[in-house]
Amino acid sequence: MRTQVGIVGAGPAGLLLSHLLARQGIDAVVLETRSRDYVEQRVRAGVLEHPTVELLREVGLADRLDREGLPHEGISLRFDGGDHRIDFADLTGRGIVVYGQQEVVKDLIAARLDAGGDILFEVSDVAVAGLDDDPLITFTDADGRAQELHCAVIAGCDGFHGITRGAFAPEMFERDYPFAWLGILAKAAPTHHELVYASHANGFALYSMRSPEVTRLYLQVPPDTDASTWSDGQVWDELGTRLAADGFHLNEGPVLEKSVTAMRSVVAEPMRHGRLFLAGDAAHIVPPTGAKGMNLAIADVRVLAEALTGYLRNGDESGIDAYSDTCLRRVWRAEHFSWWMTSMLHTFDTEDAFTRRLQLSQLRYTVSSRAAATSLAENYVGLPHGAL
Ligand code: RFL
Ligand code: PHB
């Protein structure tokens, strides 16, 4: 088999890259280890920042997003028994849209398959070679046949646990956090129209949603927590405690999904080796507190699609040479924002009263100073692509 761009991974990064390249007349084949059903059902991110929504509209992927997505113009920060709204619309003139990552993935897969695009699901034994001059991807297809895919370049969009990053030795920058998130998806109508980020002495809690019928909620828990050790009743009780505020009521309902997410910050530098380009979680991850992971993946492939178009059409290497540095500017901004939100809102060491007072001071400043609130708001809604 032969194609121009061999894309490893059918998450938001790989799928959107294949769509953007197809719009420029460039061929790509996407290889994915999981089944179509699995990637379409995987529950993950929910917040699309403003530049992400604009891009999806620009490239014809926003019909359902515009019908079903929930536009939000702010969030609440809840601490010390008080609720404080950060008004994105007033502070930045922009907002976010709550729309599940798996819905973005479904829309992308449908668009690619309708246009005759190649996505090979349920492949295995994926390996990359020839990164300096003759890129090759070897894999076993869904029918068990060994295959070779020759390409001009390879895009490593295979997420944090993929294989492409390991094909070279980028420098790794990492930070661990002493906690994880227990997330539930519940069949319960949201009772509040925006997201609530709560900093409570027992730990952080987040109130989010997916649709007018489904609420998405998270609790800070110790790292390595086994989700099954929390009964549904315990989860609801703890959410009630941490999210409590005057006039706030939490609708309970059947728990559809319960899982634990580890919290880490990791960046691989550079994001390119020869003709292999990493994008999205394959190159960097953030703790979910800033809602940046999927948005960063999308920003990366926007830069990559343009760079590859210049290279594959005209032999212009300026875009591919600048790719890693260009992306890393936005990546580090998001790394900082996610680390800052995480540090401000979570309970670290209950004995450490000094840290707790610093957090409360930062929270009070953020909700009372227009300059501080604007800084949070412009990062949350997303700096314009190319701004840095
Ligand atoms: P993905 O989505 O992990 O996709 C990678 C794909 O590659 C496949 N794969 C392979 N395919 C072929 N060969 C191999 N050897 C392969 N190894 C792996 C995988 O099966 C998969 O299909 O990476 P991508 O495309 O870079 O997208 C990144 C996002 O998925 C991720 O950053 C977000 O989900 C992070 N995230 C959030 N991001 C946001 O922007 N806003 C949010 O509100 C948000 N909340 C979250 C989150 C992530 C969470 N979890 C579960 C980690 C909330 C949570 C709880
Ligand atoms: C979500 O709805 O899953 C979500 C929202 C905001 C975050 C993280 C996750 O910061």
Q: What is the pLDDT of residues 27-81, one digit of tens each?
A: 999 999 999 999 999 988 899 999 999 999 999 999 999 999 999 999 999 999 8
User: What φ, ψ does residue 374 adopt, rounded to 5°?
Assistant: -65, -35
Helices (H), the chain: 12-23, 36-41, 50-58, 63-68, 88-92, 101-114, 232-243, 293-314, 318-345, 353-368, 370-381
pLDDT of residue 45: 84
Expressed in angstroms and rounded, the spacing between residue 207 Cα and the centre of ligand 2 is 8
Which of the pair, 94 or 387, is modelled with greater confidence? 94
Q: What is the CATH number of the domain that holds 133?
A: 3.50.50.60
pLDDT 10s digits, 154-172: 999 999 999 999 999 999 9
- Residues 255, 287 share a domain: no
- Residues 182, 235 share a domain: yes
- Residues 116, 32 share a domain: yes
Does 182 fall in a domain? Answer: yes
- Residues 240, 357 share a domain: yes
- Residues 243, 293 share a domain: no
Q: What is the pTM of this model?
A: 0.96
Residues with catalytic annotation?
72, 197, 288, 292, 380
- Does residue 291's CB lie within 6 angstroms of at least one atom of ligand 2? yes
Q: Can you give the residue range of the structural domain that contains 236? A: 177-263+347-381
- Residues 232, 330 share a domain: no
The residue contributing the CA closest to ligand 1 atom 54 is 44
For residue 350, pLDDT over 80 is answered with: no
Radius of gyration of the chain (CA): 21
C-alpha span between 278 and 284 (Å, rounded) = 9
- Residues 365, 223 share a domain: yes
Shortest CA distance to 297 belongs to which of 137, 108, 66, 24? 108
- Residues 253, 190 share a domain: yes
- Residues 326, 216 share a domain: no
Out of 47, 52, 341, mutate this one to test ligand 2's pocket (max ligand atoms within 8 Å of CB): namely 47
Element (H, E) at 149: strand 146-156
pLDDT of residue 349: 76
- List, chain by chain if needed, residues with CB within 6 Å of any ligand 1 atom: 8-14, 31-34, 39, 44-47, 101, 126, 157-159, 162-163, 183, 261, 280-281, 288, 291-295, 297
pLDDT of residue 156: 98
Element (H, E) at 23: helix 12-23
For residue 261, pLDDT over 80 is answered with: yes
pLDDT 10s digits, 100-109: 999 999 999 9
Residue 39, token pair as written in the block: 């990637």
- In sign, the C-alpha dihedral spanning 265, 268, 271, 275 is negative
- In sign, the C-alpha dihedral spanning 115, 116, 118, 122 is positive
pLDDT of residue 253: 96
For tokens 């989860």, the residue is 235
Shortest CA distance to 184 belongs to which of 255, 254, 236? 255
Does 373 fall in a domain? Answer: yes
C-alpha span between 90 and 67 (Å, rounded) = 24
Does 206 fall in a domain? Answer: yes
Shortest CA distance to 358 belongs to which of 341, 344, 368, 339? 344
Indicate the number of domains in the chain.
2
pLDDT of residue 258: 96
Expressed in angstroms and rounded, the spacing between residue 301 Cα and the centre of ligand 2 is 22
- Does residue 288's CB lie within 6 angstroms of at least one atom of ligand 2? yes
Beta-strand (E) ranges in 212-254?
A: 214-221
Out of 216, 292, 379, mutate this one to test ligand 2's pocket (max ligand atoms within 8 Å of CB): namely 216
For residue 197, the ligand 2 atom closest to its alpha carbon is 10
pLDDT 10s digits, 286-325: 999 999 999 999 999 999 999 999 999 999 999 999 999 9
Residue 336, token pair as written in the block: 């900082």
Question: Residue 241, Cα to own-chain centre: how many angstroms?
Answer: 28
CB atoms under 10 Å from CB of 190, counted, come to 22
Number of residues assigned to the chain:
388
- Residues 127, 41 share a domain: yes
- Residues 150, 203 share a domain: no
Expressed in angstroms and rounded, the spacing between residue 315 Cα and the centre of ligand 1 is 31
Does 304 fall in a domain? Answer: yes
Does 76 fall in a domain? Answer: no
pLDDT 10s digits, 204-242: 999 999 999 999 999 999 999 999 999 999 999 999 999
Out of 196, 208, 296, mutate this one to test ligand 2's pocket (max ligand atoms within 8 Å of CB): namely 208
Does 74 fall in a domain? Answer: no
Q: What is the CATH number of the domain that holds 249?
A: 3.30.9.10
For residue 14, pLDDT over 80 is answered with: yes
Does 215 fall in a domain? Answer: yes
Residue 232, token pair as written in the block: 């549904």
C-alpha span between 178 and 124 (Å, rounded) = 34
Identify the three-state secondary structure at position 258. Answer: strand
For tokens 């670290």, the residue is 348
Residue 357, token pair as written in the block: 């007072």
Of 15-19, 44-48, 178-182, 184-188, the one with minimum mean pLDDT is 44-48
Identify the three-state secondary structure at position 35. Answer: coil
Does 89 fall in a domain? Answer: no
Residue 300, token pair as written in the block: 């990366």
- Residues 307, 249 share a domain: no
- In sign, the C-alpha dihedral spanning 279, 260, 251, 288 is negative
As a whole number, mean pLDDT of residues 12-18 equals 98
Q: In what order do the strands lie in the sheet with 70-72?
A: 47-48, 96-98, 70-72
Mean residue pLDDT across the chain: 96
